Structures are given as structure tokens and as C-alpha cells.
Structure 1
Amino acid sequence: MRTRLAIKFHGMLERHLPERRVFLKSDTDTRFIRLRPETQLIAFAGAGLLVCWTILATAILLMDSIGAGNFREQAKRDQSTYQARLHDLSAQRDSRASEALAAQERFNAALDQISVMQSQLLESETRRHELETGIDVIQKTLRTTMEDRETARKALAELRDGVGENEAGTVLAGKDGGAPVDFLSEALARTAAERDQVVADAQEALVQADELSLEIALMKENNNQIFRQLEEAMTISVAPLDKMFKAAGLPPQRILDQVRRGYSGQGGPLTPLSFSSRGEELSPDFTRANRLLEQMDTLNLYRIAAEKAPFALPVKKAFRFTSEYGFRRDPKTGGRRMHRGVDFAAPAGTDLFATADGVVIHAGWQSGYGRLVKIQHEFGIETRYAHLSKIRVKVGQRVSRGEHIGDMGASGRVTGVHLHYEVRVGGKAVNPMIYIKAAKDVF
């Protein structure tokens, strides 16, 4: 069966691919190569496969070339879009920086105004107490004068009654009896003069009382205006700070309690008003003033807390963001990897600054980070500044916000000059932009 099929297949090949001989002739000999139909079929098949492979490879190369060209064009477009976006972000950053500077100036002006208003308020309260005391004295004097006037009137009436009853006896008394009459006349004249003086004093006291009442009313209105301005200033100053700490994930009340424990000394201009000249309960104005002083104390605590948290940028000169916080393509291996900070690119040697008050806990080389500075802040916050070209602080040194701590470089595992900036809370990395964005409308 197999022989028959082979014979039939060979015959079919003979019809289409007859046997051929290739003669090879030399000077002394002639030889030939016989090409059987099966050999020709194999040769044709191999040639066809070679041609197909060549066509397929050419098509793949062309497609790769076209795809690579499209990819490069897309990459260029993405790069230009990204650069435009970076320029916009840089412009927004500059705008925010100027706005923050203006807000800081307004904040300082508000604090100065609050201090002046506080002094005016205390002086006004003191003056009001003096006026109230003066009015009490005038009212007591007026009551005493009115009582004296009534006593004088009664005495005058009794004298008149006595003169009426003894008038005949006095006239009959003759020349020697004129002395009592003169005495009575003088007494009546003095009583009348005292009465007139009492009436004049009473009228003058009433006028002074009206003037003092008007002055007190004006003073109260002035105090109310001062209170309103102070309350508005406190609202404008405290609310953004409260919002900033909440946006950064820091519970404001817990932060204020922690700062208050560290600054627990008493006294100073923010001591609550509690004095009273007569041991009475505090007036509504005193209660209102104490509430404002509490808000001022809260504002001061917020100011202290804000200096101890990293609400600032580590780079003050022109820069651009080159990598955000989160998962990204590793620039070295190409794999997907978590990036636990943000990258700021600027020229080599650019000054870098601490973003909050704290203590340097590391200043040296660390694998991957290169030259690294770690600063420990309050509230369990730590900041890291990596890939520096030069470190300008040492371990144990206490630094303040805005203090120069190093220069930007390319040490460690990098592809170029930049700063890798990290913020860690309780040892866990968080997005530094949370703190930077939280403070953009305050500082």
C-alpha cells in the first residue's frame, strides 16, 4: 500500500517536476548531478519558506519602525505637554508663594492690630470702671444733697411757724426784743441761700450724670466695635490654620494640647481678665474679652505648632517637579516601584532648607539615598533630604524652619541632579504634598 502511494506520488512529481541533470564539466572530466523530483520539491519548498520568512521579517521590521516613529512622536508630544504643565505648575507655585507672602504680611499686621486693640480695650475697660465709680460717688453726693435740702426745708417751715406764733410777743418786747428777730432773719437768709445752692448743685450733678451716661454709652459702642474687629480678625486668622492642620491629617485639638503642655507657663499679656472692684461677677464685656484672649492664645499655639510641622518647601529657588509620590516606573530597572517622596529638580548646588523646626538625627551616607539628612520634628514627624552634594548640618544639631541644611546633588541611586524629599509620620511615609498644599493659603 505504501509502495503504491509512493509510486503514484513519484509519478505525479515526474509530470510536474521531471528529473533534471546538471552537468559539471572540467578540462579533463565531465560529471553531472541528478536532481530527482523529490529533491526539487524540497528545494522549492525551502526557497518558498525562505521567501515567506523574508517577507514576514520585513513586514515586522516595517511595523516596528512605524510603531517606533509613532511612539517617539507620542513621547515628544507627551514631553511637551508635561513641560507645559510643569511651567504652569511653576507659575502657580510662584503665584502661591507671593500670595503666601502677602498672607503672612496680612497675618503679622493683624497680630499687631490685635495687640493695639487689646491695649485699647484694657484702657477702655479701666476708664469705664473709673467712670462708673465716679457716677456712684456723684449719685451718693446727690442723694446726700437732696436729703440736706429736705432737712433745710423742714427747718425753714418750722422757723416760719415759730415766727408766726411769736410775732406779737416779739413786737411787744420793745427795743431789747429786736435781737431774736434779727437772728431769725439771718437764719432764714442762710437757709434760703443753702437751699438755692443745694438746688444748683443738684442740677449740676444731674447734668454731669447725663454727660457721664452719654460718655459711657459712646465708650460701650466703641468697645463693641473693637470687639467686633477683634472677633473678625480672630476668625480670619484662626480658621485657615485650623483648616491647614485638618488637611494635613493632624487633629487640631490634639496638636494644641500637645503644644500647650510644652508651653504651660502662666502670665503675660494673654492672662484672662478676672479682676472686679466689688467682687461681682464678670460683665458680658469681660466674658467677651476673655473669649477673645482665649482665641488669641489658640492663635499663638497654632503659630508655634505650624513652625514645628513641615508646612514649607525645601527649595526656594526655581525648580520643577520630576516625580510625584506613589507607584511609578523605576528609572533604573524599568519595573513598577513605590516612590515614597517627591523629587525637585534644580541646578547642582542649589540651597536646600529645613521645612520645620527640629533636631538632625542623621547626616551622612545611606545606601540608595546617597548623602542624606534626616530631621526629627514634633508630633512624630520626620523629614528626609536625599541625594545631596554637600551636607551642612551635623547629628544632634537643632535647626529652624528655613535654615540651610545642604546642597542639591546627584549622590546615591539617581539618574540626574535632584532632591528626593520625604515626610514620615510615626515612621510611615506620607505624601509630602499634603503638607505643602495644606499651607498654600496660609504661609
Structure 2
Amino acid sequence: MTGFGHKLHVMLETRFPEKRLFLRSDAETRFIRLGPVTQLTAWSVTTVVLAWTIVATAIVIMDSIGAGNFRAQALRDQMTYEERLNELSSERDRRAAEARAAQDRFSSALEQISAMQTELLRSEERRRELETGIEVIQASLRRTMSEREAARDRARALTATLEDDTAAMPGTPGGTSSAATVDMLAEALAETAQERDKIAADAEYALEHASEMELELRLLRDKNDAIFSQLEEAFTVSVEPLDEMFRAAGMDPERVLDTVRSGYSGTGGPLTPLQFSTRGGPVDPDAERANAILRAMDRLNMYRLAAEKVPFDVPVKAGFRFTSGYGMRWGRMHNGTDFAAPVGTPIRAPADGVVTFAGWSSGYGRMVKIRHDFGIETRYAHQSRIRVEEGQRVSRGDHIGDIGNSGRSTGPHLHYEIRESGSPVNPMTYIRAGQDVF
């Protein structure tokens, strides 16, 4: 044994002196010698095992504590998320109720507008009749004045003739002829006086009726002005939210209206511009206001048609919750919005369009694609059942499928996409833009 080994052995003996472990049986007694090295090895192994046990126990305890904190935090996050979802659901229901009320107001306004337009046309026709009546009365007055002047001239001529005849035949036996002439002149003067009185009475009657017609005409104009003001205010309130809705969706309202108008190029009907006679005078301001209102009606009607063709509505009407939005998720781009709901929940078309695909599509599972106007396409993935066929034309609100869990899906939900000219966009842009209308 070397010197270092001897010193190490001596040092270990001071710490771990040699011990003997006796093992006794019925026949004999044996012992096991435990040297310093053996004791050091046993002590080291025991220490390592004990240390490992302590460390492992600490790790388990810390993991349990961490897991408990994580679960508590996850529970708090879930509660916060559920509260937010409940708020969103309440807000959605409130918006839907407001949209239904706005739709009812719009329908009522259209009915009132139709009735007011009919009343306006009747008023205009009555006004034209009054103007014609006033012109007839004025013409009668002018004719009566002319006839009265002619009667006066005739009376003066007869008087002059009588005077000449009387001066030419004084005291002659032609008195009979003079008397006849006087009688004729007296009769002519009496007729002239009667005609004059009749003309005066007719003139007074015409003036009285002209005043009544003027008053009636003013009342009609005041009534028309009130109708115009009410209609103009109603259209201002109705059209501005629709302008904002299309702008919020990133669409140019004028381009949208031109596109819709090009598809509905028919003429005639209730929106035909009014043509009021001006009789060679200036443009009738009532006609201008009426035509401006008709143009606003046409704009509102075009907006109504356009709103049916753009996916402003939500595809799920029953109870649901948003689970994933548009954007990056787990390092990958999520091109749509997810609506979680039980299997079989109906999926509704958010706008009019044509089904371009209805079938299985790899990770999308059972999927439907709908082509809408303005280069917009919507997609509905992970369905449990498809209820439309390729080439079928659908309208807003039609039942196109049921929510499911097909394809790459972690639970029952609808994966909803909107694409513009083939590029995905955030569906919530359209849904938020239409939340005050649908």
C-alpha cells in the first residue's frame, strides 16, 4: 500500500472505524467485517439516494404548486373570457334587436313614403286644377270687362243716335217713328243695364272663388312642404348608417351602388322622376324636392339590394362563442373566425350568392364555398352535414349546413372565412360593419 493510500486508510478509520456485523443462527455465528471503504461507500450511496429523494419530492411539490397556480389562473382567465363572451352575446342580441327595429322602421317608412307620394301626386293634380280654374276665371273676367266696355260704347252710340233723331224732326208728324226709336233705345239701355249687373255679379263671384282657390293652394303647398321635410329627414337618417356600413367594410359606396344599379337597369315603376308642368316658367321647386327624394329612395333601395349580397350578417344565429379569431395562431396564420357550438347547430348564409363547392376538402373537412358579388367568397368548414349542392343559388339566411367536427378540428365548431379576390380578410370587419343593420 502506498503512503497516500495508507494515510487515506488511517483518515477513514478515524471517521469510519472498522465494524463487524454478527449474524447468528441456530448452528453457528458469523460476522461481516465492514471496513472504512465499505462504510464510506454505503454512506455515500445513502446520501445520494436521500438527496435525490429530497430533490424529487421538492420538484413534485413545486410542480403541484405551479400546476395549482396555473389551473387557478386558467380558471380566472376562463371566467373572464366567459364574462366577455356573455357581454358580446348580450351586445349581439341587443344589436340584433335594434337591427330588427330598424328594419321595421324602414318598412314602415317605405309604406309612409308610398302613401305620401300618392298624396303628393294628388296634391299636385289638385294644384294644377286650381291653377287652371284661376286662369279660366281670369279669362272670364277679361271677357266680361271687354263685353261691359262694348255695352257702354253701344249705349253711348244709341244715345247719340236718339239725340240726333230728336233734333232732326222737331214737331213733325214723324212722332210715331221717334217714339218707336225711343222705346228701342230704352229697351237697349235696360238690356245693357241688366247685362252690366250680371257681369258685375259674375266678376264678384269669380273674385270670391279665386280667393278661396288661392287659400286652398297655399294650404296644399304648406302640406307638401311638411311632407317633403319629413321625407328628407327620414332619408337622411336611413342612408347615412348604410354609407358608414360599406365604408367600415372597406368598400366604396358609390362603386357598390353603380355595380348594383348596372344589374337592375329597368325603368318605370314608383321611382320614376316626377314631371311637373312649368308652363314655360322657372323649374318648380316642389318638383325638384320630389325628384331629390325619389333619388334618395333609389339610393336606399340600391343599398338594400347591395346589403343582401355582401356578407354583413353572422353565419350562426343560435347560441355560440368565439374561440379563435383571424390572425397568427401557434406560429401559423389562421385565415378565419371560429364559432364554437354543439354538433348540428344550423349554419346560415350571411348573404345572397352561388355555391361553388360543397364536399370534402382535406383539413377543412366537409366544406361549402359561396361566391357573392363584388369579388367576395365565403367558406364554411368542419361541417357535420352539408345541405346545399354545387351550383345552387342561396339567399341570406338560408340553411346551408350543420356545425360539426370533421377534418383537422379539436372540437365542434364552424371555421368561417371571407376572401376578397382570393385573398383572406378578417370576417369580423364585415360582421362589425353590419352589426347596426343586421
The answer to whether the Cα contact below 8 Å between 1:358 and 1:375 also exists between their aligned partners in 2 is yes
Amino acid at match of 1:379: F
**Partner Cα distance (1:171, 1:74) in 2:** 140
The answer to whether the Cα contact below 8 Å between 1:372 and 1:385 also exists between their aligned partners in 2 is yes
User: Comparing 256-265 with 171-180, which one deviates more in the overlay?
Assistant: 171-180
Q: Which residue in the other structure is 2:427 paired with?
A: 432
The answer to whether the Cα contact below 8 Å between 2:159 and 2:185 also exists between their aligned partners in 1 is no
- Give the alignment's TM-score, normalised by structure 1: 0.89
Q: Which residue in the other structure is 1:99 paired with?
A: 98
Q: Which residue in the other structure is 1:355 paired with?
A: 350
The answer to whether the Cα contact below 8 Å between 2:16 and 2:40 also exists between their aligned partners in 1 is no
Deviation digits for residues 335-359 of structure 1 (CA, Å, limit 9, x no counterpart): 3433222222222222222111111
Q: Which residue in the other structure is 1:74 paired with?
A: 73
**Partner Cα distance (2:196, 2:262) in 1:** 68
Q: Which residue in the other structure is 2:401 paired with?
A: 406
Change (3 A) 1:177 1:28: closer
Q: Which residue in the other structure is 2:87 paired with?
A: 88
Deviation digits for residues 396-424 of structure 1 (CA, Å, limit 9, x no counterpart): 11111111111221111112222111111
The yes-or-no answer on 1:366 pairing with 2:361 is yes
Change (3 A) 1:162 1:311: same
Q: Which residue in the other structure is 2:270 paired with?
A: 269
The answer to whether the Cα contact below 8 Å between 1:17 and 1:40 also exists between their aligned partners in 2 is no
**Partner Cα distance (1:46, 1:421) in 2:** 62
Q: Shift in Å at residue 292 of structure 1?
A: 0.9
**Partner Cα distance (1:386, 1:84) in 2:** 27
**Partner Cα distance (1:137, 1:306) in 2:** 52
Change (3 A) 1:150 1:58: same
Deviation digits for residues 106-153 of structure 1 (CA, Å, limit 9, x no counterpart): 111111111111122122222212221221222122122122222322
**Partner Cα distance (1:418, 1:362) in 2:** 19
User: How do 1:362-401 residues align onto structure 2 when only pairs under 5 Å count?
Assistant: 362-401=357-396
**Partner Cα distance (1:418, 1:296) in 2:** 41
User: How do 1:41-190 residues align onto structure 2 when only pairs under 5 Å count?
Assistant: 47-164=46-163, 166-169=165-168, 172=171, 173-190=174-191
Amino acid at match of 1:397: Q
Deviation digits for residues 40-68 of structure 1 (CA, Å, limit 9, x no counterpart): 66765665454444333322221111111
User: How do 1:231-310 residues align onto structure 2 when only pairs under 5 Å count?
Assistant: 231-274=232-275, 276=277, 278-310=279-311
Change (3 A) 1:191 1:398: same
List gaps (5 residues or longer) in structure 2.
none
Deviation digits for residues 9-51 of structure 1 (CA, Å, limit 9, x no counterpart): 8499469536535567795976645325xx7667656654544
Amino acid at match of 1:20: E
- Give the alignment's TM-score, normalised by structure 2: 0.90
The answer to whether the Cα contact below 8 Å between 2:359 and 2:367 also exists between their aligned partners in 1 is yes
Q: Which residue in the other structure is 1:332 paired with?
A: none
CA RMSD of aligned residues (A): 2.7
Q: Which residue in the other structure is 1:17 paired with?
A: 15
The answer to whether the Cα contact below 8 Å between 1:274 and 1:282 also exists between their aligned partners in 2 is no
Q: Which residue in the other structure is 2:205 paired with?
A: 204
Q: Shift in Å at residue 171 of structure 1?
A: 5.9
The answer to whether the Cα contact below 8 Å between 1:171 and 1:177 also exists between their aligned partners in 2 is no
Change (3 A) 1:408 1:23: closer
The secondary structure found in structure 1 opposite 2:187 is helix
List gaps (5 residues or longer) in structure 1.
329-334
Q: Shift in Å at residue 364 of structure 1?
A: 0.2
Equivalences, count: 432
- Identity rate, percent: 57
Deviation digits for residues 160-208 of structure 1 (CA, Å, limit 9, x no counterpart): 4444555455663423321111111111111111111111111111111
The answer to whether the Cα contact below 8 Å between 1:363 and 1:371 also exists between their aligned partners in 2 is yes
The secondary structure found in structure 1 opposite 2:35 is strand
Q: Which residue in the other structure is 1:312 paired with?
A: 313
The answer to whether the Cα contact below 8 Å between 1:310 and 1:356 also exists between their aligned partners in 2 is yes
The answer to whether the Cα contact below 8 Å between 1:114 and 1:233 also exists between their aligned partners in 2 is no
Amino acid at match of 1:326: G
The yes-or-no answer on 1:344 pairing with 2:343 is no
The secondary structure found in structure 2 opposite 1:327 is strand
